[in-house]
Chain A
């Protein structure tokens, strides 16, 4: 599994669909393909945000660790990215990301991510759009909740 297949996987992600493949390859080459087994923690709640993860294969659980035990908040499947907000907002991880089964992620470290974001505007714009889209969804949900 090489850069080309990583790039193909990235192209399937909605936010990267309009990004030039060569920029996606640059993104892919700056990262590392890492494999986790079921139950492995990809990152832990409270730890500093050091990387973003694009899920290439498998599914991960987003888990909130509380004094009363673990609460699964959501499940994220392949073709999605986790960890970007922690990197961009520069705060510690709000949740633990755990492999729900065998998972392969493209892990791009914080420093490399920043350098790409700084020099490849197309990619940073794609990420900004994705975050704006998520915010819009949240706003819509909140509006619907308020109206109800």
Chain B
């Protein structure tokens, strides 16, 4: 990226900048005229200079040009103008003045809007350029980048730069030309007054910035001193027991007092400087009229300046200091922003970048082209050896295990294969291609690298697995609407890609499918290979069918209820199902679901909205449930805070077991504090009550086990349920789907729909047994595929936190498998799996990668079975090349001439 901010701006916004500069120049004549008209008002209309020699009318708006001699001389009149009496003349000139004021305002508006859009466009470009550059960092460089810092730089730190970009050229040009026009105008009226104005402007332009520099230095000192004081106070609060214990309070107070004194001095110096600058500024702007009145008045009285000119000069001077002041401010912003830009750019400047091209090139790598390590040696930045010289060839296709303890050369070799290390000695080739010369897209066409740590993005499981397929660049769409057209134009103008992520980027060929509707099957196959099939099925049972699902399919699920009951009955499992029955409290459903006996179909009666709904509140109020529900909510909140407060935000246990989200923890802590301080006269607000009741409504005794529901409460809930159903207003009809044995409940989970009830918690292996029976039933009824597909909709949460560690690792592997790579490199990442799971997965990988190349890393030999070759590491050296013969022979073989 261009290291100079102004060059960067000019390079990418030349046309727009020139356009705005033309507007600025075009505005100048109107500005000049707006300064000139007041003079004419005073001289010609008020003092009557246009009406001398007894004339009662005067001509205005005449447009004529004097012709040069070679054109015959004389005057060319385009418009003869109109005659006005003195009053009309005054009004006409006043309206003319108003017209110029409006024109000037319109120019200013247009210039501001255009430079604002220009700034936003450039900000978009700058952010995109930085992000794009970040994506081109070599793996070893990007590991050094702190994600939060990079995000802050791209998001926040460039914001003021963006704000300045619009002003970079336009603002000094606009203000400068305005100031110069005003100054020139004054000089034209009176040279000496012009000189006075210029002198004062120069003082403002040079002395005030100099004074301000010191002011900024004081401000910086104040900030540092205040920060140090705060830090020291914090330390003293932490050390208060020590201070009391040793009786050193006086000494500590004296120390703080010393710091306060220093802060005081800085602040006083700052105020002195600040108000001195302010005083000088004000003085300069107020003293100038003195010169104008005194000197200009003298000239007027002596006849070398007329009154109109004097008024015009004073009027023009009014417009002079603000642009000068703003120019000074602009210069300060320029200095700040230039430094910021350089800082940001320096963070994004690294020695080497990956190739910029993302498009696949026409490389052709034969299926049997081997991977050759030719004298590959890796040292870290401090010169420590990470991988001793490796010269070997991995034949293709073959299955190779690389074994070595954590921290050994095994990890480095795997990262080399995965192209995660690019800074090494020697050559690493795939056939005749240098691995480093391949761009990411080309490399990804051939190989897939499963990172040791799974990386998941929030969103559906489907998107996470299919992420590896999002590399088929779709053609730019033809814009169908005006908005799409504008989006496309803006993307082009700001150097952004012309295709959005909403387009279909999926590489269906790589997934081995012909059409988008077949993709889910490919994803499920990949997930099954990594032993996640059963989990996806369970997620599917918890999923809901979309609202636009075909009615026939819904009816099949309703019809399946009876079959499922038969299956459960055969397995003696009906006893573990607690059915939804209008007259029974379902202990395994939440209090909210028990109260409404159904599932919310809209926002109003949703888990969040129900507690605040007026009708619902009137029902629970009538049944005397408001207080007990508030108390239940209070107990839930208190226990949750007690148990989960120590966990970091977004921790998986929090997400999985707590009824409160980690982001709400502080709010509930405040509510609890208020509720406990009721004796002190603090009352909970209506919203606080809503939130506590909202918590209670999600509570289920067997699941959350806080002993908050007793049989009496269950009976009251049942009474409230009856009232709720009986009195439900007509306009609530679409807000809820009641549990009904003959209807599909869209908003309820598939499992609830199939069982028409809930599996009882606390029964030995009940959930698993029921899930197995359901699987059998769904398989026989031909509905199992739908459930698996629903499982792909499961939201994995931020960073995949809603999945357990082995599930995250499995998704990471499935993501590589789904694009059927010719070379699969699995860099460990199996430690979260149980031994049996590892055995299954490795077996499946051997099967899937038959006839292709599979390279897997293991910490020991326990699972390195079934491989054609096992390379073993001892520290940074290969201790066993896994070939018959010596390492030297291997080396010789590797160094044979290439094809």
Report which A residues bind B (CB closer than 8 A): 1-6, 22-23, 25-26, 28-30, 32-36, 40, 42, 48-49, 90-92, 110-112, 114-116, 119
Bound: A109/B61 CA distance, A: 93
Residues of B within 8 A of A92 (CB): 836
Nearest neighbor of B766 in chain A, beta-carbon distance: A34
Does A3 contact B639, Cβ atoms closer than 8 Å? Answer: yes
Contact of A4 among B701, B707, B763, B806 (CB under 8 A): B707
- Also in contact, A3 and B705, with CB within 8 A (given A25-B643, A35-B762, A115-B804): yes
* Nearest B residue (CB) for A104: B762
B657 an interface residue at 8 Å Cβ cutoff? yes
9 cross-chain pairs, A with B, having the tightest CB-CB distances, nearest first: A2-B707, A111-B804, A2-B705, A48-B836, A25-B643, A90-B835, A3-B705, A26-B643, A29-B657
**Is B805 in contact with A111, judged by CB distance below 8 angstroms?**
yes
For residue A122, which residue of chain B has the nearest CB?
A: B646
Contact in complex: A22, B834 (CB < 8 Å): no
Map CB proximity to A onto B632-667 as digits: 1 under 8 Å, 0 otherwise: 000000010011111100011100110000000000
Q: Can you name 10 extra interface pairs (CB under 8 A) apart from A23-B646, A26-B643, A40-B764?
A: A2-B701, A25-B643, A26-B644, A28-B705, A29-B657, A48-B835, A114-B832, A115-B653, A119-B647, A119-B653
Task: Note all chain B residues with C-beta closer than 8 A to A40.
Answer: 764
A2 CB contacts on chain B under 8 angstroms: 701, 705-708
Residues on A with beta carbons closer than 8 Å to the beta carbon of B657? 29-30
Name B366-381 residues within 8 Å CB distance of A.
Answer: none
17 A-B contacts, Cβ less than 8 Å apart?
A2-B707, A3-B706, A5-B707, A6-B705, A23-B646, A25-B642, A26-B647, A26-B653, A29-B643, A33-B705, A34-B762, A34-B764, A40-B764, A90-B834, A110-B834, A111-B805, A112-B653
Interface string of B763-788 (1 = CB under 8 A from A): 11000000000000000000000000
Q: How far apart are the CA atoms of A42 and B764 in the complex, in Å?
A: 8
Cβ 8 A contact of A35, one of B639, B653, B763, B835:
B763
Chain B residue nearest to A21 in the complex (CB):
B642
Closest chain A CB from B635 CB (angstroms): 10
**Known contacts A111-B806, A115-B653, A119-B653, A48 near B764 by CB under 8 Å:** no
Once the chains bind, are A48 and B834 in contact (CB under 8 Å)? yes
Determine how close the nearest CB of chain B comes to the CB of A27; give it in whole angstroms: 10
Contact at B805–A114, with CB atoms within 8 Å?
A: yes
Give every chain B residue within 8 A of A90 (Cβ-Cβ).
834-835
Name the A residues within 8 Å of B701 (CB-CB). Answer: 2
Bound CA span A34–B764, Å:
6
Pair A22/B646 contact, Cβ less than 8 Å: yes
Cα A6 to Cα B643 in complex, Å, equals: 14
> What is the CB-to-nearest-CB distance from B456 to chain A, in angstroms, rounded to a whole number?
16
Residue of A nearest to B644 (CB): A26
Say whether B804 contacts A32, CB under 8 Å. Answer: no
Complex Cα–Cα for A29 and B836 (A): 27
Residue in chain A with minimal CB distance to B705: A2
* A28 proximity list for chain B (CB < 8 A): 705
- Chain B residue nearest to A33 (CB atoms) is B762
A35, chain B: closest CB distance, angstroms: 6
B805 proximity list for chain A (CB < 8 A): 111, 114-115
A32 contacts which chain B residues (CB < 8 A)? 761-762
With both chains docked as a complex, state the minimum distance between the C-beta of B374 and any C-beta of chain A, in angstroms: 39
Q: Which of B643, B652, B804 gathers most chain A CB within 10 Å?
A: B643
B687-725 residues at the A interface, CB under 8 angstroms: 701, 704-708
**B807 closest partner in A (C-beta):** A111
**How far is it, in angstroms, between the C-alpha of A92 and the C-alpha of B839 when the chains are bound?**
13
The CA of A35 and the CA of B760, in the complex, are separated in Å by 12
The answer to whether B835 touches A36 (Cβ under 8 A) is no
Q: Are A91 and B804 in contact (CB under 8 A)?
A: no
CA distance A23 to B646 in the complex (A): 9
A117 CB to closest chain B CB (Å) equals: 11
Once A4-B707, A115-B804 are accepted as A-B contacts, the answer to whether A34 and B647 lie under 8 Å apart by CB is: no
CB distance from A122 to the nearest CB of B (A): 10
The answer to whether A34 touches B763 (Cβ under 8 A) is: yes
CB distance from B763 to the nearest CB of A (A): 7
Binary A-proximity of B566-583 (CB < 8 A = 1, otherwise 0): 000000000000000000
Q: Select from chain A the residue with minimum beta-carbon distance to B837.
A: A48
CA distance A19 to B705 in the complex (A): 21
Give the shortest distance, in Å, between A54 (CB) and chain B (any CB). 14
A40 to chain B, nearest CB (A): 6
Report A25 CB to chain B, min CB distance, Å: 5
A32 to B700: give the CA distance in the assembly, Å: 13
Distance to closest chain A CB from B705 (angstroms): 4
- A40 CA / B769 CA spacing, docked (Å): 15
Report the minimal beta-carbon distance from B811 to chain A, rounded to whole angstroms.
14
| Bound-complex Cα distance A30 to B835 (A) | 23
Whether the pair B643, A22 counts as a contact (CB closer than 8 A) is yes
Assembled-state Cα–Cα distance A136/B50 (Å): 118
- Shortest C-beta distance, B362 to chain A (Å), equals 46
Q: How far is the CA of A50 from the CA of B647 in the complex (A)?
A: 24
Give complex CA distance A3, B804 in Å: 23
B643 contacts across to A, CB distance below 8 A: 22, 25-26, 29
B857-883 interface with A by 8 A CB criterion: none
Which residues from B are CB-within-8-Å of A29?
Answer: 643, 657, 704-705
- Name the CB-closest residue of A to B833: A90
Q: How far is the CB of B644 from chain A (nearest CB, A)?
A: 7
Cα separation A35 to B765 with both chains bound (whole Å)? 10
Q: Are A35 and B834 in contact (CB under 8 A)?
A: no
* CB of A71, distance to nearest CB on chain B (Å): 24
Given contacts A2-B706, A3-B639, A111-B806, contact A119 B763 (CB under 8 A): no
Residue pair B707, A1 in contact (C-beta under 8 Å): yes
Closest-CB distance, B695 to chain A (whole angstroms): 15
Chain A residue nearest to B706 (CB atoms) is: A2
Residues on B with C-beta less than 8 A from A35 are 762-764
Indicate the member of A26, A33, A49 with the most B CB atoms within 10 Å. Answer: A26
B759 to chain A, nearest CB (A): 12
Closest Cβ–Cβ distance, residue A100 to chain B (whole Å): 15
A111 CB contacts on chain B under 8 angstroms: 804-807
Instruction: Write out the residue numbers on chain B whose beta carbons fall within 8 Å of the beta carbon of A36.
Output: 764
CA distance A48 to B704 in the complex (A): 27
Q: How far is the CA of A119 from the CA of B657 in the complex (A)?
A: 15
Closest to A42 in B: B764
Contacts A29-B657, A49-B834; A22 near B642 (Cβ below 8 A): yes
Taking CB atoms, residues of chain A closer than 8 Å to B835 are 48, 90-91
- Kindly state the separation between the CA atoms of A140 and B807 in the bound complex, as whole angstroms: 41
| Chain A residues whose C-beta falls within 8 Å of the C-beta of B706 in the assembled complex | 2-4
Complex Cα distance, B763 from A6, in Å, reads 17
Asked if B639 and A25 make an inter-chain contact with CB atoms under 8 angstroms apart, the answer reads yes
Smallest Cβ-Cβ distance to A48: which chain B residue: B836
Distance A28 CA – B657 CA, assembled complex (angstroms):
11
How far apart sit A23 and B707, CA to CA, in the bound complex (Å)? 19
Whose C-beta in chain B lies nearest to the C-beta of A5?
B707
Question: For the complex, what is the distance from the CA of A5 to the CA of B708, rounded to whole Å?
Answer: 13
- Cα-based distance from A118 to B762 in the complex (angstroms): 26
Distance (whole angstroms) from the CB of A53 to the closest CB of chain B: 11
Q: How far is the CB of B760 from chain A (nearest CB, A)?
A: 10
**Complex Cα distance A19/B656, Å?**
23
Contacts of B836 in A (CB 8 A): 48, 92
* Cα of A69 to Cα of B653 in the assembled complex, Å: 42
Distance between A96 CB and nearest chain B CB, rounded to angstroms? 14
> Looking across the interface, which residue of chain A has its beta carbon closest to that of B657?
A29
Q: How far is the CB of B836 from chain A (nearest CB, A)?
A: 5
Q: Which residues of A contact B645 (CB under 8 A)?
A: 22
Complex Cα spacing A18 to B99, Å: 85
| Distance A4 CA – B704 CA, assembled complex (angstroms) | 11
